[in-house]
Structures are given as C-alpha cells and as structure tokens.
C-alpha cells in the first residue's frame, strides 16, 4: 500500500510499504477514506518530538471502512464506516476505566523509555514516535487499529467524512480544552492559536456558554474564521500588545480561563524573545518555545484556569511559577481522551449544533501529502487544515 512516511526533519514521502495485518486479537484493519494533517504532525515534521525513525508512517486523524477484524472484535464487522480516536487505549486498565484514555496503562509497548523521560508512560498514539509506541499511522491506504472494540465508533451515513474525521482528534481536543475551563455564565475565555484546535476550542467555549471568546493569533485569515465561525473577538498579536488588550477588554480582570492551543512551537511577536528561545531550542537547552503558555498564565484572572491543549514534549524554560502560585491559578492539561467525547460530539454534529468541518481549507489526494505538509507548515494559500482523500 501507499503511506506517508517521515524521512527526517522537514521531509515526508509517500512510499510503498506492506499492507497491515492483524497482530492482536482485538485489532481491526481499516481502509482509509479521509485522513488529516495535524499541528501535532508539524512538531514531528520539524523534529521536535523525540524518537522518530526514518520510514515511520505518520498520521493519527483518520477514518474509513473496516475490512478485517480480529477474533476478539465483536462490535465491528467488515463494511462498517468508522472514525478512529488518535490515542490507543485498551479500555480495561484503571486509567481507561476512569475515562483517561490518553494515559492508558497498556497501549505503549515502549513504556520503559517513556517512563525514563516522563516518569510514567502515556498511551500509545498512531504515527506519533517510538516514545509513544512505534505505531504505524493512518496517512496511508490502510491502517491496523488496536483495541478496535474500544476506540472506533460507527459513523452514520448522513455524516460526511469531512465532519466525521474531525472526531479523530481536533474537535474532541478542542472541546476538552473548553470543558477544562469549567465555564460558568458570564465567563470570558481567551484562546491562544487560531489553528484548527484553537478555532474549534473557541467554538466549543461558545457552545458551553461562554459570554465572550477572544482568539489570539497573527494570521488574519485564521482570525477571520474565528470571528465568522466561532463568534469570537480577535487580537492580532503582531498589531497590539496582548496583555494590555486583554486587560482593556475585561476591564482589568483578565480572562476567566485561558486556553493554550499553540504548544511547543510558539512564535513571539518580540524578535529578541523569539530568538532567545529559538536558540535554546536549537541546541536542546530547552525543548519548547512556550510563549503562548507564559502569556496565558500572565493574562489569566487570579484564581482562573489555564487549559493547555497545545502539545509539549520536554522541558519549558522561564516558566512564570511566581505568577502561577501567587495568583492561585489552576492548570488543566492532557492529550485528549478522545474516546470520552466521540459519541456526544457526533450527536452534536448530527443535531446541527456545530459543523466542525469549517476549518478544512484543503482536500488533497494522498499522493500529495508532502505538498500538504509544506503548505500547512508555511501557512500558504490560507491553509488551516489539510484533509487527504484516499
């Protein structure tokens, strides 16, 4: 089959690999119809997530048709149309049973290494480094889906691929980011990053009853989507000082909760600050550029929530712990526990509460995956989200 492989920093190729087969009794093989490129894939593309190997198949946002199931999979059969959550979760461990699927205790066969770096191991993730399992991803014609009796859900015919594939990651992630803000009537929510995750987080915050949502980014086309589709106000951080503007907008209180939907590759309007963290990251003195996170902490109202859904991989420098501690802030974070949200969010889509496909800017054939990575990386051609059609 054809598959999108990581060939080194800033390099992906569509290559021929063997077709996947059942390796565990609870596996299913899915013939992929739609698969998306994520901001998380850009972290891999740029080489910031440790332990990638040349030839690794990328992709953790995919859906398609079941073509084969292992002997222990009873809920699915060949022909079913399914969307697959990106964290691989067994459904039987303590974490899974408490709904913490992205920290499943069994799905990372390389837990020993992850433990050395992170203390304890998170779940395995499709196409997301050997540190997180060494699983082949889904930017391909077929994928093997472990624990198919727990993760994938069937998609009704009236929900098109473009909507359903958003349930693999970005919509649940964004929704969880908003949910972690514990939104109460009158709350003002600020969101850093107007990528797919930030845009859907803003929309979710609205759905969950936020009074006002403010989205911060520097790309006018993305900020326009935030205004038009998420009912948000926007700040372009290249035009105005973010902290001052947020204080002005909230009469000095600061947002009640702040969502970091940027992650470890933040960009900074101030050239000197940007150069400082960029240089430290290049020589691995620091693995992240946490501009949005620092700013979110400083901006947040005292006693408020900082909800971190942007991805981090290692160590953060100059973390404003003083502000965090003295102002009684709360941080909530995590890779999304997608399995918890797929059904309720599918319901919301079917009810017409939201159409998450508004973020899709490009639909390309699988063979054009390298081009998709390039335009998404460079934010060319008003690119927000690339969905590969197989």
Torsion sign, CA atoms 108, 109, 110, 114: positive
Instruction: Residue 267: name its binding partner from ligand NAD, other proteins, Zn ion, none (Cβ under 5 to 8 Å by kind).
Output: ligand NAD
- 96 is a contact residue toward Zn ion (CB under 5 A): yes
Question: Residue 158: left (phi > 0), alpha (psi -120 to 50), or beta?
Answer: alpha
Question: What is the number of other CB atoms lying within 10 angstroms of the CB of residue 233?
Answer: 17
Instruction: Residue 43: name its binding partner from other proteins, ligand NAD, Zn ion, none (Cβ under 5 to 8 Å by kind).
Output: ligand NAD
* Comparison of 346 and 386: residue with beta carbon closer to ligand NAD: 386
- 290 is a contact residue toward ligand NAD (CB under 6 A): no
What is the pairing mode between strands 61-69 and 81-84?
antiparallel
Cβ proximity of 315 and 118 under 8 Å: no
* Comparison of 1 and 316: residue with beta carbon closer to other proteins: 1
- 118 is a contact residue toward other proteins (CB under 8 A): no
- 43 is a contact residue toward ligand NAD (CB under 6 A): yes
Distance CA 251, CA 239 (A): 20
- 346 is a contact residue toward Zn ion (CB under 5 A): no
Distance CA 96, CA 90 (A): 7
* Comparison of 117 and 279: residue with beta carbon closer to other proteins: 117
- 216 is a contact residue toward ligand NAD (CB under 6 A): yes
- 194 is a contact residue toward ligand NAD (CB under 6 A): yes
Q: Which two tokens stand for residue 132?
A: 């997180």
* Comparison of 39 and 137: residue with beta carbon closer to ligand NAD: 39
Q: How far is the CB of 320 from other proteins (least distance, A)?
A: 34
- 149 is a contact residue toward Zn ion (CB under 5 A): no
What is the distance, to the nearest Å, from the Cα of residue 373 to the centroid of all Cα atoms in its chain? Answer: 16
Tell me which stretch binds Zn ion (CB under 5 A): 126-134, 167-175, 274-282, 348-356: 167-175
Instruction: Residue 124: name its binding partner from other proteins, Zn ion, ligand NAD, none (Cβ under 5 to 8 Å by kind).
Output: other proteins
Q: Which CA distances in Å does 355 have to 74, 85, 164, 359?
A: 31, 18, 10, 9
- 152 is a contact residue toward other proteins (CB under 8 A): no
Tell me which stretch binds other proteins (CB under 8 A): 78-86, 124-132, 154-162, 296-304: 124-132
- 348 is a contact residue toward other proteins (CB under 8 A): no
Give helix then strand counts, H and E, for the chain. 13, 18
Cβ proximity of 263 and 312 under 8 Å: yes
Torsion sign, CA atoms 13, 290, 173, 202: negative
**CA-based angle 162:166:168, to the nearest 5?**
125
Q: How far is the CB of 312 from ligand NAD (least distance, A)?
A: 8
Q: Which CA distances in Å does 26 have to 78, 150, 186, 223, 348?
A: 14, 9, 46, 43, 29
Nearby residues of 271 by Cβ (< 8 Å), 6 or more positions away: none
What backbone phi and psi angles, to 5 degrees, belong to 251? 50, 45
Among 133, 196, 304, 310, binds other proteins (CB under 8 A): 133
H or E, element range at 84: strand 81-84
Q: Binders of ligand NAD: how many residues, by CB under 6 A?
A: 34
Cβ proximity of 177 and 204 under 8 Å: yes
Q: Residue 143 burial by CB count (10 A; 0-12/13-18/19+): exposed, middle or buried?
A: buried
- 38 is a contact residue toward Zn ion (CB under 5 A): yes
Q: How far is the CB of 20 from other proteins (least distance, A)?
A: 4
Per-residue contact flags (x/-) with other proteins for residues 55 to 84, judged by CB under 8 A: xxx--------------x------------
Per-residue contact flags (x/-) with ligand NAD for residues 138 to 177, judged by CB under 6 A: -------------------------------xx--x----
Residues lying near other proteins in the complex (CB under 8 A) are found at 3, 5, 17-21, 23-26, 51, 53-57, 72, 90, 92-94, 97, 105-107, 109-113, 124, 127, 130, 133-137, 144, 146-147
Residues lying near ligand NAD in the complex (CB under 6 A) are found at 38-40, 42-43, 169-170, 173, 192-198, 216-219, 222, 237, 261-263, 266-268, 291-292, 309-311, 335-336
Residues lying near Zn ion in the complex (CB under 5 A) are found at 38, 40, 61, 89-90, 93, 96, 104, 106, 169
């Amino acid at each position: 089959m054809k598959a999108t492989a990581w060939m080194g920093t800033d390099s992906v190729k569509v290559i021929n690999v063997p077709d996947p087969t059942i390796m565990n009794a609870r596996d299913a093989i899915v013939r992929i119809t739609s698969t998306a490129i994520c901001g998380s894939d850009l972290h891999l593309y740029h080489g910031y997530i440790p332990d990638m190997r040349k030839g690794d198949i990328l992709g953790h946002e995919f859906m398609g048709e079941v073509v084969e199931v292992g002997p222990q999979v009873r809920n699915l059969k060949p022909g079913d149309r399914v969307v697959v959550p990106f964290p691989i979760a067994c459904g039987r461990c303590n974490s899974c049973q408490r709904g913490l699927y992205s920290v499943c205790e069994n799905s990372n066969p390389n837990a020993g290494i992850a433990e050395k770096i992170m203390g304890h191991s998170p779940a395995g993730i499709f196409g997301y480094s050997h540190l997180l399992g060494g699983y082949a991803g889904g930017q391909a014609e077929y994928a093997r889906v472990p624990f198919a009796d727990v993760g994938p859900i069937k998609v009704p015919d009236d929900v098109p691929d473009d909507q359903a594939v958003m349930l693999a990651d970005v919509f649940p992630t964004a929704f969880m980011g908003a949910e972690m803000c514990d939104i109460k009537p009158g709350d003002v929510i600020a969101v850093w990053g107007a990528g797919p995750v930030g845009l859907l987080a803003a929309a979710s915050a609205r759905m969950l009853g936020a009074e006002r949502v403010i989205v911060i980014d520097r790309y006018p086309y993305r900020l326009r989507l935030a205004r038009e589709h998420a009912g948000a106000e926007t700040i372009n951080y290249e035009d105005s000082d973010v902290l001052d503007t947020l204080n002005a907008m909230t009469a000095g209180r600061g947002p009640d909760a702040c969502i970091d939907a940027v992650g470890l590759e933040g960009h900074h309007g101030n050239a000197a600050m940007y150069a400082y963290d960029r240089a430290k990251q290049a020589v691995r003195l620091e693995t992240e550029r946490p501009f949005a996170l620092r700013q979110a902490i400083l901006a947040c109202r005292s006693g408020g929530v900082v909800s971190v859904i942007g991805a981090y991989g290692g160590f953060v420098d100059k973390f404003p712990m003083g502000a965090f501690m003295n102002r009684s802030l709360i941080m909530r974070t995590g890779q999304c526990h997608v399995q918890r949200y797929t059904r309720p969010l599918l319901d919301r889509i079917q009810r017409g509460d939201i159409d998450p496909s508004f973020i899709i800017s490009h639909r390309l054939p699988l063979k054009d995956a390298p081009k998709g990575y390039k335009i998404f990386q460079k934010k060319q051609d008003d690119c927000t989200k690339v969905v590969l059609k197989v």
